[in-house]
Chain A
Amino acid sequence: MRNTWTKASPGARVLRLLRCDDMKCMSQLYRFVVIVTAAVAAFATTYAAQTLKAGVFDPPHPAPDFALQGTQAASFKLSDYRGKVVVLGFGFTSCAEVCPTTLAVLAAARRKLGVDAADVQVVYVTVDPERDSAEHMKKYLATFDPTFVGGTGSAEQLAAVRRKYGIQAEKKMFGDNYAYVHSSSILLIDRQGSLRALMPYGHSPDDYAHDLRILLAE
């Protein structure tokens, strides 16, 4: 049988594949689909790496999972939100400036996304277990956006979560009161659960909306 495959134009090859009805042809079709899918995935990853406003991890690694007491349920795991883009931050409700600013920016970014915001989950983990009970965090986070999930637990549990993400938090005494100096960056985790990017403090809601749209579209 004459091999006309190599002489056919790319368009003719695709048409032939779509009409295939034997095993050899099916295998070629399968190979074609795999190659196209890989090419699209590679292009999407490269495109995201080049265009995110946030700092990008390359290659991305799975976001370490953790389980904490939650504000929406008695307990939750990060992996419960697989399928959504997770915006993960660390802070405390008594924070005077950085945390309220960040949470307000994240709430504004979600509003900018419209209906797509349903696929974005903000998870805010406290660094201050003494003052941040799940109930208190729920009330506090609801003032920004009622969909925000707070995470709390024992000091050891929270320290273990911070270690997994390289988050710093140091307690500073001010007379009888105290505050925390902590990492203010926000982590972006894609639908597959990969830690993709880190957004430093100070970015606008537009920047967050821009990056979240890219991650949501993947």
Chain B
Amino acid sequence: MRMRPALIALILAGAGLLGAAAWAGWAPIQTPVSREKVFEIPKGTWARRMAGDKVDILPSEIRLTLGMQDVLLLRNLDDVPQTFGPALMMPGQSFRLPFEVASDYQFACTAHASGQMTVIVAPRPDSAWARIQWRLHEWLAPRA
């Protein structure tokens, strides 16, 4: 009995999907060399804002993962003090904020229309399902 090409393609696609899910669920996740998620205010940002440019640097929602990327590092490279997330930073100053507990952290932040910035710290993906979710999110999330 000859199988139709469409059926073969379907079976192959299903097998491929299962293989990808198995890899995503069971392959260990490499811990990155740096656990810092870095955001920088470039030099000249204040001048651009004064000139009417809308400069968005810090997203209103930042996602971190414990044990993977669980340190927020903010740097003010501009020539004037800047309120950046929760911190008022002097020119040339950095602010390094580590997280040790998975939770949603709310910070007052005037840079956003909502007046708030949320840092969502997820637990380290230790189960197969958590690893699949983490990889899907990494794959779909826009790069900062």
Contacts and interface: CB of A to CB of B under 8 A. Distances in A.
Interface of A: 49, 53-59, 61, 165-166, 168, 170, 181-185, 198, 200-202
Interface stretch (B43-51, B59-67, B93-101, B123-131): B93-101
Task: Say what secondary structure dominates the interface of chain B.
Answer: strand
Nearest to B96: A56
Contacts of B94: 57-58
B96 A55 contact: yes
A93 to B, nearest CB: 19
B86 interface: yes
Given A61-B90, A200-B86, A202-B103, A182 B95 contact: no
Nearest to A98: B106
Nearest to A169: B108
Interface size class of B (residues with CB under 8 A): 20 to 34
B84 to A, nearest CB: 9
A198 B86 contact: yes
Given A55-B86, A183-B86, A49 B96 contact: yes
Nearest to B105: A200
B115 A181 contact: yes
B90 A185 contact: no
A57 B90 CA distance: 9
B96 A198 contact: no
A55 B105 contact: no
Contacts of A201: 105-106
A72 B96 CA distance: 34
